Chain A
Amino acid sequence: MVGLIIVGHGDFPRILVNSAEEILGPIERLKVVSFYSEGSKNSCRIDLRRAIKNLESPDGILLLADMFGGTPCNVSVSLQKAFHLKIITGLNLPMLLEAVLHRGKEVGKLTKIVKESAIKSIIETW
Protein backbone atom coordinates (compact mmCIF):
# COMPACT_ATOMS: atom_id res chain seq x y z
CA MET A 1 0.00 0.00 0.00
CA VAL A 2 1.37 3.40 -1.02
CA GLY A 3 2.26 5.60 1.97
CA LEU A 4 0.71 9.07 2.08
CA ILE A 5 2.25 12.26 3.45
CA ILE A 6 0.18 15.42 3.68
CA VAL A 7 2.13 18.66 4.10
CA GLY A 8 1.08 22.27 4.35
CA HIS A 9 1.04 25.55 6.22
CA GLY A 10 -0.26 25.59 9.81
CA ASP A 11 -3.18 23.38 10.81
CA PHE A 12 -4.59 23.01 7.30
CA PRO A 13 -3.21 19.53 6.51
CA ARG A 14 -4.31 18.02 9.85
CA ILE A 15 -7.80 19.52 9.56
CA LEU A 16 -8.11 18.29 6.00
CA VAL A 17 -7.17 14.77 7.09
CA ASN A 18 -9.78 15.00 9.87
CA SER A 19 -12.40 15.91 7.23
CA ALA A 20 -11.34 13.00 5.02
CA GLU A 21 -11.63 10.63 7.99
CA GLU A 22 -15.18 11.93 8.60
CA ILE A 23 -16.04 10.53 5.18
CA LEU A 24 -13.77 7.48 4.91
CA GLY A 25 -13.11 6.43 8.50
CA PRO A 26 -9.58 6.06 9.91
CA ILE A 27 -6.79 6.30 7.34
CA GLU A 28 -3.73 4.11 7.87
CA ARG A 29 -0.15 4.68 6.70
CA LEU A 30 -0.64 8.43 6.50
CA LYS A 31 1.56 11.11 8.08
CA VAL A 32 0.84 14.82 8.43
CA VAL A 33 3.66 17.35 8.49
CA SER A 34 2.64 20.91 9.39
CA PHE A 35 4.86 23.90 8.82
CA TYR A 36 4.34 26.74 11.33
CA SER A 37 5.71 30.26 11.00
CA GLU A 38 7.58 30.00 14.31
CA GLY A 39 9.32 26.77 13.30
CA SER A 40 12.59 26.69 11.38
CA LYS A 41 12.87 25.31 7.86
CA ASN A 42 15.36 22.79 9.15
CA SER A 43 13.07 21.42 11.85
CA CYS A 44 10.36 20.97 9.20
CA ARG A 45 12.84 19.10 7.03
CA ILE A 46 13.64 16.82 10.00
CA ASP A 47 9.91 16.20 10.61
CA LEU A 48 9.41 15.38 6.95
CA ARG A 49 12.39 13.02 6.81
CA ARG A 50 11.04 11.24 9.89
CA ALA A 51 7.63 10.82 8.22
CA ILE A 52 9.26 9.48 5.04
CA LYS A 53 11.41 7.01 6.97
CA ASN A 54 8.35 5.83 8.84
CA LEU A 55 6.44 5.10 5.63
CA GLU A 56 9.26 3.79 3.43
CA SER A 57 8.31 0.60 1.60
CA PRO A 58 8.67 -0.88 -1.91
CA ASP A 59 5.17 0.43 -2.68
CA GLY A 60 6.43 4.01 -2.58
CA ILE A 61 5.18 7.28 -1.11
CA LEU A 62 2.83 9.90 -2.53
CA LEU A 63 3.17 13.33 -0.92
CA LEU A 64 0.40 15.89 -1.27
CA ALA A 65 1.47 19.50 -0.64
CA ASP A 66 -0.85 22.44 -0.12
CA MET A 67 0.69 24.93 -2.56
CA PHE A 68 3.36 24.92 -5.25
CA GLY A 69 6.15 27.33 -4.35
CA GLY A 70 5.38 27.39 -0.62
CA THR A 71 7.95 26.22 1.93
CA PRO A 72 6.20 22.87 2.65
CA CYS A 73 6.30 22.12 -1.07
CA ASN A 74 9.86 23.38 -1.54
CA VAL A 75 11.21 21.33 1.36
CA SER A 76 9.36 18.27 0.02
CA VAL A 77 10.82 18.77 -3.45
CA SER A 78 14.32 19.05 -1.94
CA LEU A 79 13.89 15.49 -0.62
CA GLN A 80 12.05 14.13 -3.67
CA LYS A 81 14.95 12.52 -5.54
CA ALA A 82 16.68 11.08 -2.47
CA PHE A 83 13.52 9.26 -1.39
CA HIS A 84 11.83 8.69 -4.78
CA LEU A 85 8.77 10.65 -3.71
CA LYS A 86 5.82 11.34 -5.95
CA ILE A 87 4.55 14.86 -5.21
CA ILE A 88 1.34 16.63 -6.18
CA THR A 89 0.54 20.21 -5.15
CA GLY A 90 -2.77 22.03 -4.73
CA LEU A 91 -4.00 19.82 -1.91
CA ASN A 92 -7.77 19.63 -1.60
CA LEU A 93 -10.30 17.25 -0.09
CA PRO A 94 -11.27 15.39 -3.29
CA MET A 95 -7.55 14.87 -4.04
CA LEU A 96 -7.01 13.31 -0.62
CA LEU A 97 -10.12 11.10 -0.90
CA GLU A 98 -9.03 9.76 -4.28
CA ALA A 99 -5.50 9.13 -2.99
CA VAL A 100 -6.83 7.03 -0.11
CA LEU A 101 -9.38 5.15 -2.20
CA HIS A 102 -6.86 4.18 -4.91
CA ARG A 103 -3.73 3.62 -2.87
CA GLY A 104 -3.63 -0.09 -3.61
CA LYS A 105 -2.52 0.84 -7.13
CA GLU A 106 1.06 1.23 -8.34
CA VAL A 107 2.39 4.61 -7.16
CA GLY A 108 2.89 6.08 -10.66
CA LYS A 109 -0.62 5.15 -11.71
CA LEU A 110 -2.01 6.41 -8.38
CA THR A 111 -0.29 9.77 -8.88
CA LYS A 112 -1.82 10.18 -12.33
CA ILE A 113 -5.33 9.31 -11.09
CA VAL A 114 -5.09 11.65 -8.10
CA LYS A 115 -3.82 14.60 -10.11
CA GLU A 116 -6.47 14.22 -12.81
CA SER A 117 -9.26 13.77 -10.25
CA ALA A 118 -8.22 16.82 -8.24
CA ILE A 119 -8.28 19.02 -11.32
CA LYS A 120 -11.65 17.62 -12.34
CA SER A 121 -13.09 18.35 -8.89
CA ILE A 122 -12.89 22.13 -9.38
CA ILE A 123 -16.27 23.07 -10.74
CA GLU A 124 -18.20 26.30 -11.15
CA THR A 125 -21.81 25.59 -10.23
CA TRP A 126 -24.75 27.24 -11.86
Chain B
Amino acid sequence: MVKISEEFTVGNELGFHARPAALFVKTANSFQSEILVKKGEEEVDGKSIINLLTLAAAKGEKITVTAKGKDSAEAIKSLKKILADTFKK
Protein backbone atom coordinates (compact mmCIF):
# COMPACT_ATOMS: atom_id res chain seq x y z
CA MET B 1 0.00 0.00 0.00
CA VAL B 2 1.31 3.43 -0.93
CA LYS B 3 1.52 5.85 1.99
CA ILE B 4 2.33 9.54 1.56
CA SER B 5 2.55 12.16 4.30
CA GLU B 6 2.99 15.89 4.11
CA GLU B 7 3.24 18.51 6.84
CA PHE B 8 1.52 21.91 6.72
CA THR B 9 1.62 24.96 8.97
CA VAL B 10 -1.69 26.67 9.64
CA GLY B 11 -1.01 30.18 8.41
CA ASN B 12 -4.38 31.94 8.50
CA GLU B 13 -5.98 33.83 11.40
CA LEU B 14 -9.11 31.64 11.60
CA GLY B 15 -7.21 28.36 11.66
CA PHE B 16 -8.56 25.19 10.06
CA HIS B 17 -12.20 26.29 10.32
CA ALA B 18 -15.51 24.94 9.04
CA ARG B 19 -15.57 26.00 5.38
CA PRO B 20 -12.08 24.79 4.43
CA ALA B 21 -12.61 21.69 6.55
CA ALA B 22 -15.79 20.96 4.58
CA LEU B 23 -13.94 21.37 1.31
CA PHE B 24 -11.12 19.16 2.60
CA VAL B 25 -13.59 16.43 3.58
CA LYS B 26 -15.48 16.62 0.26
CA THR B 27 -12.20 16.21 -1.57
CA ALA B 28 -10.90 13.49 0.76
CA ASN B 29 -14.10 11.50 0.21
CA SER B 30 -13.59 11.59 -3.53
CA PHE B 31 -10.53 9.33 -3.13
CA GLN B 32 -10.38 5.68 -2.15
CA SER B 33 -7.30 6.18 0.01
CA GLU B 34 -7.61 6.43 3.76
CA ILE B 35 -6.92 10.03 4.78
CA LEU B 36 -5.53 10.82 8.22
CA VAL B 37 -4.79 14.21 9.76
CA LYS B 38 -2.51 14.54 12.76
CA LYS B 39 -1.83 17.40 15.16
CA GLY B 40 0.60 16.61 17.93
CA GLU B 41 -0.21 13.15 19.22
CA GLU B 42 -3.80 13.18 17.99
CA GLU B 43 -4.58 11.64 14.62
CA VAL B 44 -8.10 11.67 13.14
CA ASP B 45 -10.06 10.48 10.12
CA GLY B 46 -9.69 13.19 7.46
CA LYS B 47 -12.98 12.16 5.87
CA SER B 48 -15.00 13.45 8.84
CA ILE B 49 -15.54 17.18 9.35
CA ILE B 50 -16.23 16.72 13.06
CA ASN B 51 -12.95 14.90 13.53
CA LEU B 52 -11.06 17.61 11.66
CA LEU B 53 -12.67 20.43 13.62
CA THR B 54 -12.02 18.75 16.96
CA LEU B 55 -8.31 18.98 16.18
CA ALA B 56 -8.78 22.77 16.61
CA ALA B 57 -5.73 23.51 14.48
CA ALA B 58 -4.92 27.17 15.12
CA LYS B 59 -2.60 29.64 13.43
CA GLY B 60 1.03 28.64 13.74
CA GLU B 61 0.31 24.98 14.51
CA LYS B 62 1.46 22.12 12.31
CA ILE B 63 -0.72 19.35 10.91
CA THR B 64 0.36 16.28 9.01
CA VAL B 65 -1.85 14.83 6.29
CA THR B 66 -1.34 11.17 5.41
CA ALA B 67 -2.93 9.31 2.52
CA LYS B 68 -2.80 5.50 2.41
CA GLY B 69 -3.95 3.70 -0.72
CA LYS B 70 -3.68 3.35 -4.47
CA ASP B 71 -4.63 6.95 -5.22
CA SER B 72 -2.67 8.49 -2.34
CA ALA B 73 -0.48 10.63 -4.62
CA GLU B 74 -3.49 12.23 -6.31
CA ALA B 75 -5.22 12.66 -2.95
CA ILE B 76 -2.27 14.44 -1.36
CA LYS B 77 -1.90 16.66 -4.42
CA SER B 78 -5.56 17.77 -4.24
CA LEU B 79 -5.59 18.22 -0.46
CA LYS B 80 -2.32 20.14 -0.58
CA LYS B 81 -3.90 22.68 -2.93
CA ILE B 82 -6.86 23.21 -0.58
CA LEU B 83 -4.63 23.67 2.45
CA ALA B 84 -2.25 25.98 0.59
CA ASP B 85 -5.18 28.19 -0.48
CA THR B 86 -6.69 28.15 3.01
CA PHE B 87 -3.58 28.78 5.01
CA LYS B 88 -2.30 31.70 2.93
CA LYS B 89 -5.50 33.75 3.57
- A-side residues, CB < 8 A to B, are 23-24, 94, 97-98, 101-102, 104, 113, 117-118, 120-121, 123
What's the minimum C-beta distance from A115 to chain B, rounded to whole angstroms? 12
Report chain B residues within 8 Å CB of A120. Answer: 50-51, 54
In-complex Cβ contact of B50 among A23, A24, A98, A104 (8 A): A98
- B-side residues, CB < 8 A to A, are 18-19, 22, 25-26, 29, 47-51, 53-54
Is the pair A113, B54 in contact by a Cβ cutoff of 8 Å?
Answer: no
In-complex Cβ contact of A101 among B19, B49, B53, B54 (8 A): B49
Report chain B residues within 8 Å CB of A113. Answer: 48
What's the minimum C-beta distance from A95 to chain B, rounded to whole angstroms? 9
Is the pair A97, B29 in contact by a Cβ cutoff of 8 Å?
Answer: no
Is the pair A94, B49 in contact by a Cβ cutoff of 8 Å?
Answer: yes
Mostly, the A contact residues are: helix
What's the minimum C-beta distance from B53 to chain A, rounded to whole angstroms? 8
- Give Cα A23 to B20, complex, Å: 9
Is the pair B22, A94 in contact by a Cβ cutoff of 8 Å?
Answer: no
- Which chain B residue lies CB-closest to A117? B50
Is the pair B22, A24 in contact by a Cβ cutoff of 8 Å?
Answer: yes
Is the pair A101, B18 in contact by a Cβ cutoff of 8 Å?
Answer: no
**What are 10 A-B contacts defined by CB distance under 8 Å?**
A23-B19, A24-B22, A94-B53, A101-B49, A104-B29, A113-B48, A117-B48, A117-B51, A121-B50, A123-B54
